[in-house]
A and B are shown apart, each in its own frame.
Chain A
Amino acid sequence: MKWVRHGWAVLAAVIVLILVSSPRAVRAAEIGVTDKEIVVGAGVDLTGAVANWGVNIKAGMEAVFNRVNDAGGVYGRQIRLITYDHVYQPPKAVANAKRLVERDKVFIMMGHLGTPTTKAIMGYLEEHKVPNVFPATLASLWATSGKWHVGDVATYADQTWLIIDYLVKERKLTRIASFYQDDEYGLDGHLAGKARLQHYGLEYIAQVDYKRADIDFSSQAAKLKESGAEAVILQAVYREPPRLAEQCHAMGYNPLFIGPSPIVLDKTIELGGKHVEDVIGVEVWPPPTDPGPFLDQYRADMQKYAPHLPLDMTNLYGYQKAALFVEALQRAGRDLTRESLLQAITTIKDWDPGWGLKYSYGGDDRRVMSRAARLVMVKEGKWVRMSDWMELEEGGRR
């Protein structure tokens, strides 16, 4: 058949081409920086299940960049942020990374969202010597990755250590349960907590998981009640604790609910009403409504550049990330290269953007962050401070 003959010819040509080809040379020239601008890339989720994070982080970062650009930029260079949507899928994230690095020629990748998506592109970024700074993921990736990655967040693992220390040492509780999202988001804190409990010779009395989009927790509540747990650690966001608390109370079960930073939002109280009274959370930075120079600036910038978004932790997270980045840019000086930026990051020590928290670069864990955290509790419909700023121990899963 004619068709088959042609087909084999094409196949033969293809094989010859492969044999004759050689891999493209990888250039590490200085890219993304001109006299006029710095190009920054970020792959985030703009639609899909975690779209709320992506949209807000992007808005927070853009608020900072817009303000800096309006004031003349960093050493006269305007910062331009390019983002692409990857809907939490690694193959799309890889495509976006290639587009950002090879087509848009970004200087660095910043604020890349999602753990599997970031893991998927790490090898590629390293190969092209593109720094991946301050990705918006939890996993302690940077501890084991090369010099091209720098993190910036206190993980839920660290915070869970703090929680367990508080429960065991101060509240003298031993029957502790864990309620966690059954993916890498919830597992991070959950497993770290397990390890920390072992340190005290204890175990979780109940381990109850849920799927991210779950709407009903009556079975989880029933299991928790049956276990008789005195405290339940919530590895969740603001959506789940109100409903869980409501369903536990409906069964006449009133444990102490406590969890890392994502639950510390006014939204939680809005959704949960009186059921979230006495819930304890961990704050790693002041709430968006506190006074102070940095937060004043945050509110002003958000009002000016993203007035349609409510002030909350998700865009504050992006905002402070970008503020940290701008600080690093300024320290790198006029002669801006990838190396000089990474070098500049390592010089950050005890830097306070204006809200009483000191950011420092920590050696082999390769994170720039403030290690402060404090406990807060819901009292009469408001989050109230329970302790002063404490130092977080770095107790990652790995």
Chain B
Amino acid sequence: MIEILASQVVSGLATGCVYALVALGFVLIYKATDVVNFAQGEFVMASGFISYTLLIRYGLPYWLVFCLTILLSGVMGVVLERVVVRPIMSAPIFSIVIATIGASTVMRSAAGIIYGYDVLPLPTIFSKEPIQLGILNFTPMDVGVIGCSIVIMLALYLFFKWTKTGMAMRATAQSQTAAQLMGVSVKQIFSLTWAISAGIGGIAGVLIAPIIYLDPNLGTIGVKAFAGAILGGFGSIPGAIIGGMLLGVLENLSGYFFNAGIKQVSTYILLILVLIIRPSGLFGAVAMKKV
């Protein structure tokens, strides 16, 4: 019994890491620009398809495909920002959100028209052979996903803490006016933020597609990831990560003890309970607004 629970937790962590990666994308953009990017899930989907095209249709080697996908995803993020968000940057937030919703619809239908709605498998370099280690039972795929996620999160942490650009981004997130006064090009920072977010989405796509197979409706994972980010506290990066992982584990455990329906809503039940007690999520800061 404990063995089964342990394996549930491990695979839950792996799924949770993917949620966390997608959630990171949301949080980054939100922190810098106050915008909720509803197309984040579609970034993941699109990058999955890009890597599929490069790998299968053009037969490029895996490592090259990995790098190219992240690059192209970043470009996609910048394009979206310039075309859909920048023109209405000073409009009410709601309008920008609708713009991203429209963009996600366009991306989804475009993928459907180009690739069809059939499910496409994506090969992976991590094998799916199970390994037994004491009471734990997992696959190298799980390890690979968790490992990659940790690497990325570390990289981001270091980036924000030690590099000039990272600091510029943090400054912009705190106060756009002050950052601009200090010589930071806020517009460039915005584009960069979107590029990084889309890039992270790209990594998530490459990691997750071999597990759950590609299809244009993949983007709906964004909602779960979003819930994870909120659970952890939307303004904080560690919060988003922990929230996502918690979600993955919780889903698996409730799926084991109950049925599929409860598994799906367990996330949201927990979320509502947490929000009632802590309205800004587990680690979120309480928002202060001047009167």
Contact = CB atoms under 8 A, between A and B. Distances in A.
A contacts B: CB pair < 8 Å: yes
B220 A251 contact: no
A218 B117 contact: no
Contacts of B211: 215-216
A216 B112 contact: no
B130 A250 contact: yes
Interface in B250-288: 251-256, 259-261, 263-264
Interface in B1-58: 4, 7-8, 11-12, 15
A51 B113 CA distance: 11
A209 B259 contact: yes
B256 to A, nearest CB: 4
Given A49-B217, A222-B4, A270 B260 contact: no
B9 to A, nearest CB: 10
Contact of B260 (A209, A222, A252): A209
A84 interface: no
A303 B15 CA distance: 40
A34 interface: no
Contacts of B119: 52, 238-239, 267, 271
Interface of B is mostly: helix
A49 B212 CA distance: 15
A358 interface: no
Given A55-B117, A182-B259, A182-B260, A226 B4 contact: yes
Contacts of B7: 218, 222, 250-251
B232 to A, nearest CB: 20
A216 B16 CA distance: 11
A308 B128 CA distance: 32
Contacts of B139: 250
A175 interface: no
Given A47-B109, A271-B213, A216 B4 contact: no
A249 interface: yes
Contacts of B108: 47
B116 interface: yes
A225 interface: yes
Contacts of B212: 215-216, 243
A379 B174 CA distance: 61
A229 to B, nearest CB: 15
Most buried by A among B253, B254, B263: B263
Nearest to B128: A246
B176 interface: no
Interface string A290-333: 00000000000000000011101000000000000000000000
Most buried by B among A222, A225, A226, A247: A222
B102 interface: no
B217 A219 contact: no
B121 A211 contact: no
Interface in A213-229: 213-216, 218-220, 222-223, 225-226
Contact of A223 (B217, B220, B256): B256
A210 interface: yes
Interface residues of A, number: 38
Contacts of A210: 260
B282 to A, nearest CB: 23
A181 B213 CA distance: 18
Nearest to B208: A215
A52 B118 contact: yes
A48 interface: yes
B25 to A, nearest CB: 19
B260 A218 contact: no
A308 B216 CA distance: 17
Interface string B200-229: 000000000001110111001000000000
A309 B113 CA distance: 11
Contacts of A222: 4, 7-8, 256
A104 to B, nearest CB: 24
B260 A215 contact: no
Contacts of A271: 119, 121, 213
Contacts of B121: 270-271
Contacts of A209: 259-261
A182 to B, nearest CB: 5
Contacts of A309: 116
Nearest to B264: A211
Interface in A44-93: 47-49, 51-52, 55
Interface in B116-166: 116-119, 121, 128, 130, 137, 139
A52 B252 contact: no
Contacts of A308: 116
A243 B119 CA distance: 13
B117 A52 contact: yes
A228 to B, nearest CB: 13
Given A48-B217, A211-B264, A250-B139, A219 B117 contact: no
B118 A218 contact: no
Interface string A241-283: 0010011011110000000000000010011000000000000
24 contacts: A47-B109, A47-B117, A48-B217, A51-B216, A51-B217, A52-B117, A52-B215, A182-B261, A209-B259, A209-B260, A210-B260, A211-B263, A211-B264, A215-B15, A218-B12, A219-B255, A219-B256, A220-B260, A222-B7, A246-B128, A250-B130, A267-B118, A267-B119, A271-B119
Interface of A: 47-49, 51-52, 55, 182, 208-211, 213-216, 218-220, 222-223, 225-226, 238-239, 243, 246-247, 249-252, 267, 270-271, 308-310, 312
Closest 5 CB pairs of A and B: A219-B255, A215-B212, A219-B256, A250-B130, A51-B117
